[in-house]
């Protein structure tokens, strides 16, 4: 029998070994942290929009909304919770006297039980005042409404709503954007995006609701009226709630996209660049485009935009076309029934999003037809499929001229030009190409040997066409002339499948897979044991307006955490602070950075006056 350690032999010693806090009183929050978050909130510009919406409301002003929002940020930072109950505890019990003066919070030593209850009601009323002013259709958010009334609320969140309802929705989204983008401003001013090539990953993730869905046996709606069922890819079980569209700063493995050029090295923090809350299945593409358009004033470069099959399935005018107008190149995935030959344009085949020679071998053109998702993910263990993907490369049309201001792209036949990729008897017949003069090829030089036309694959032309060539007018358009122009909308419905890297090719994998890993990494961080946006118990406020504001504050806190981890990992925080570029606090009058840790000027004025 093994002897137990000596502290376990007596209960008194066991109790003596237990760790105990120094005091039962809640820990105090430093004034510098309160001042930094308050300055962050004020410099986002969200408080200005809120003040405009609340300016004409009758009655007393009540507790400032900024106090509640700062309390939510503090609660997220220290307690990983966005519930108003935790916000009340933080404001009453954990602030020092200077911070309480800044936020107009009473001294807890002078407040009894009834005073605490009264302050709690002030916090709830201040948040309710904000959500009421921004709600397109005010209703009772604490009970199930009849479906007739619920349909009126749902209609206020649709495109066909009235002018005032649309305006409130835009103001709400603008406030949400400013709360998220203020952290992007910080990273941009610190120069943390200097190594970023503009690659972006976009995804829609479930945002579960605390309330239950509407009962089928009653003519009642859910308390969360605009919520619905979010179905993740590959899962048959839905999640009741809203959908959150997140945009993240991604990275490629290297600029050329070649697997032998080296492994991917992140040179920038992978921040969330945008967040939009909506009903599941509604406006998936437009929500992503909205977040992308908000990045234009920053002047960031535009690189590849990686999106999953939910965005590929969007109509062209809702996602692909506006994304290209913004300058982004697309890296897409397809559903199982969308892979392979997707259509034609002027005789050229659209094979997995890339235009190809109309005479591409059937086996290569249909190499991915009906290919399952597991086979795509396990491509590294399928040498036969890898070989077919590599053999496709010479048959794709070559880009002769990149997109102009109108978005038109010039493509060239792979057999045309001074360096043809294939040998095509049809091209030689139509364009009267003279036979190539004999040249001496150095077989010991692989580059010289591969450049010779005899080393190129030959386009398989039917034997009947070789014996009796048809008239030029009967050939596909790409065969009549060596170049074609693809303008926005020329491909019609199948234009949504077109992308800028050949599907499953190593260059596509070097773009798509890392960026998908970036977006899943952000989802994992946002749903970790800390700030968990997938836990509805951490955001119990009712209504879509409240959930939108809380999501924006959560993403803001996640970005601040990412920036803090980035500075700790790279060791750049001390260097940035030493040169005075820490912008976590601002001088609001001069709009210039202040040294880290100082409270905002408004709070210093309060101290001086008192």
Give residue limits of the domains in the chain: 343-433+454-488
Return the closest-CA partner of residue 325 out of 411, 406, 402, 248: 406
At what angle are helices 506-526 and 544-570 packed, to 10 degrees?
A: 110
* Cβ contact 205:231 at 8 Å: no
360/459 Cα distance (integer angstroms): 7
Task: Quote helix, strand, coil % in the chain, to nearest 5.
Answer: 45, 10, 40
Give the relative orientation of helices 46-54 and 163-189 as an angle to the nearest 10 degrees: 160
DSSP structural state of residue 331: E
Specify the pLDDT at position 362: 93
Distance CA 363, CA 384 (A): 12
The whole-angstrom separation of Cα 584 and Cα 176 is: 19
Distance CA 106, CA 179 (A): 27
Tokens, residue 446: 């692989």
- Cβ-in-10-Å burial (0-12, 13-18, 19+) of 253 comes to buried
Cα separation, 505 vs 248, in Å, equals 24
**What is the pLDDT, as a whole number, of residue 277?**
95
pLDDT at 114: 92
**What SS3 state is found at 425?**
helix
The pLDDT value given to residue 449: 61
- Residue 204, helix vs strand vs coil: strand
What is the C-alpha separation between 67 and 119, in angstroms, rounded? 12
Q: What gap in Å lies between CA 559 and CA 184, rounded to an integer?
A: 8
Q: Among all chains, which residue has been given the structure tokens 């005010």?
A: 138
Q: In this structure, what token pair is assigned to residue 135?
A: 């709600």
Query: Is residue 544 a contact partner of residue 274, using CB atoms and an 8 Å limit?
Result: no
For residue 587, the model assigns a pLDDT of 38
Q: How far apart are CA 474 and CA 564, in angstroms?
A: 65
CA proximity to 264, closest of 251, 274, 245, 246: 251
**Among 180, 214, 59, 40, residue whose Cα is nearest residue 128:** 59
CB 352 within 8 A of CB 368: yes
Q: Which residues of the chain have pLDDT under 70?
A: 1-11, 13-17, 20-24, 234, 254-266, 434-443, 446-455, 572-610
Q: Which of 416, 502, 484, 429 is nearest to 456 (CA)?
A: 416
d(CA 283, CA 285): 6
**Angstrom distance (rounded) from CA 311 to CA 537:** 30
How far apart (Å, rounded) are the C-alpha atoms in residues 211 and 214?
Answer: 9
Q: How far apart are CA 528 and CA 534, in angstroms?
A: 9
State pTM to two decimals. Answer: 0.86
Q: How far apart are CA 232 and CA 230, in angstroms?
A: 6
CB count, 10 Å around CB of 45? 17
Strands in 409-412's sheet, in edge-to-edge order, are 398-401, 409-412, 483-486
At a CB cut-off of 8 Å and minimum separation 6, what does 395 contact?
Answer: 356, 357, 360, 361, 364, 414, 421, 422, 457, 459
First to last CA, the chain: 71
Only one residue has tokens 């009970």, namely 143
What is the chain's Cα-based Rg? 30
Map residue 249 onto helix, strand or coil.
strand
Tally Cβ neighbours within 10 Å of residue 76: 27
Question: What pLDDT shows up at residue 498?
Answer: 94
Neighbours of 78 (CB within 10 A): 15
């Amino acid at each position: 029998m093994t002897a137990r350690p000596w502290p376990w032999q007596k209960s008194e010693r066991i109790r003596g070994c237990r760790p105990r806090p120094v005091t039962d009183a809640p820990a105090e929050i430093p004034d510098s942290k309160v001042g930094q978050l308050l300055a962050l909130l004020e410099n986002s510009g969200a408080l200005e929009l809120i003040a405009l919406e609340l300016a004409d409301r009758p009655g007393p002003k009540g507790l400032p909304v900024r106090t509640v929002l700062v309390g939510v940020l503090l609660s997220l930072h220290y307690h990983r919770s966005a519930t108003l109950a935790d916000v009340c505890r933080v404001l009453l019990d954990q602030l020092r006297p200077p911070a309480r003066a800044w936020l107009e919070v009473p001294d807890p030593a002078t407040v009894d039980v009834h005073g605490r209850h009264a302050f709690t009601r002030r916090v709830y009323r201040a948040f309710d005042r904000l959500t009421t002013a921004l709600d397109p259709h005010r209703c009772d958010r604490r009970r199930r409404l009849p479906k007739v009334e619920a349909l009126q609320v749902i209609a206020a969140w649709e495109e066909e709503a009235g002018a005032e309802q649309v305006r409130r929705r835009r103001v709400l989204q603008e406030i949400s954007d400013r709360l998220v983008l203020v952290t992007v401003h910080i990273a941009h001013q610190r120069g943390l995006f200097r190594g970023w090539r503009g690659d972006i990953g976009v995804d829609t993730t479930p945002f579960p609701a605390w309330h239950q869905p509407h009962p089928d046996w009653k003519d009642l709606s859910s308390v969360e009226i605009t919520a619905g069922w979010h179905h993740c890819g590959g899962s048959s079980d839905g999640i009741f709630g809203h959908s959150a569209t997140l945009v993240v700063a991604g990275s490629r493995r290297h600029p050329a996209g070649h697997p032998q050029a080296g492994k991917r090295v992140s040179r920038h923090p992978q921040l969330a660049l945008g967040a939009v809350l909506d009903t599941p299945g509604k406006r998936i593409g437009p929500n992503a485009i909205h977040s992308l358009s908000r990045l234009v004033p920053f002047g960031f470069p535009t690189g590849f935009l990686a999106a999953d099959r939910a965005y590929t399935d969007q109509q062209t005018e809702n996602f692909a076309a506006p994304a290209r107008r913004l300058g982004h190149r697309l890296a897409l995935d397809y559903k199982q029934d969308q892979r392979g030959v997707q259509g034609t344009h002027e005789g050229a085949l659209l094979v997995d999003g890339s235009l190809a020679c109309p005479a591409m071998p059937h086996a290569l053109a249909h190499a991915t037809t009906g290919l399952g998702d597991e086979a795509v993910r396990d491509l590294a263990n399928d040498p036969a499929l890898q070989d077919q993907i590599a053999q496709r490369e010479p048959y794709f049309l070559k880009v002769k001229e990149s997109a102009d201001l109108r978005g038109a792209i010039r493509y060239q036949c792979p057999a045309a030009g001074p360096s043809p990729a294939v040998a095509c008897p049809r091209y030689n017949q139509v364009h009267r190409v003279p036979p190539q003069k004999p040249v001496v090829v150095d077989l010991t030089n692989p580059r010289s040997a591969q450049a010779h036309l005899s080393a190129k694959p030959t386009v398989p032309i039917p034997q009947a066409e070789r014996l009796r060539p048809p008239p030029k007018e009967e050939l596909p358009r790409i065969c009549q002339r060596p170049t074609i122009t693809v303008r926005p909308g020329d491909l019609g419905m199948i234009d949504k499948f077109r992308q800028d890297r050949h599907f499953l090719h190593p260059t596509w994998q070097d773009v798509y897979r890392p960026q998908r890993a970036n977006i899943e990494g952000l989802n994992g961080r946002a749903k970790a044991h800390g700030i968990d946006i997938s836990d509805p118990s951490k955001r119990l406020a009712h209504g879509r307006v409240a959930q939108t504001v809380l999501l924006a504050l959560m993403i803001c806190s996640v970005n601040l955490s990412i920036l803090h981890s980035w500075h700790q990992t790279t060791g750049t925080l001390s260097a940035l602070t030493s040169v005075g570029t820490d912008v976590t606090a601002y001088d609001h009058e001069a709009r210039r950075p202040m040294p880290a840790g100082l409270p905002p000027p408004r709070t210093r004025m309060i101290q001086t006056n008192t």
